[in-house]
Amino acid sequence: MVFNTGAALLDAIVLAIVSKEPEGTYGYKITQEVRQIIDISESTLYPVLRRLQKDECLEVYDMECAGRNRRYYKVTSQGWAQLGLYESEWRQYSQKITALFEGKIDLKK
């Protein structure tokens, strides 16, 4: 993708993906799903997960899977509120950009 992905957009994408699983989901799966949307490395994603945890948007818990612990992430009530804000802001932003590309905005006013 030719557009840079800022921190807020990464946060929004991660929260949206984690929110699809009511009981939470684990880091590797989050990475794979984010990669279906944007090109991102694990070394970029894990700091996003830690930041969202620090900001109390995600809670973290470990669960055993095949004899190993797997770290799960789940959206908190604060995370749901933040995701709602991101969704609202994204809709406004994307509508304006789309309108510009489609020539529906008169910039000469």
Give tens-digit pLDDT for 61-100: 998 888 889 999 999 999 999 999 999 999 999 999 999 9
Residue 32 lies in a domain: yes
On the question of pLDDT at 1 being above 70, the answer is no
| CATH number of domain containing 12 | 1.10.10.10
Q: What is the pTM of this model?
A: 0.88
Strand boundaries in 36-105, DSSP class E: 58-65, 68-75
Number of domains forming the structure of the chain: 1
For residue 81, the model assigns a pLDDT of 98
Residue 57 lies in a domain: yes
Range of the domain at 43: 7-101
Burial (0-12, 13-18, 19+ Cβ within 10 Å), 18: buried
Single-letter amino acid code for the residue at 59: E
Give tens-digit pLDDT for 7-54: 999 999 999 999 999 899 999 999 999 999 998 888 889 999 999 999
Residue 1 lies in a domain: no
Give dist(CA 81, CA 104) in Å, integer: 32
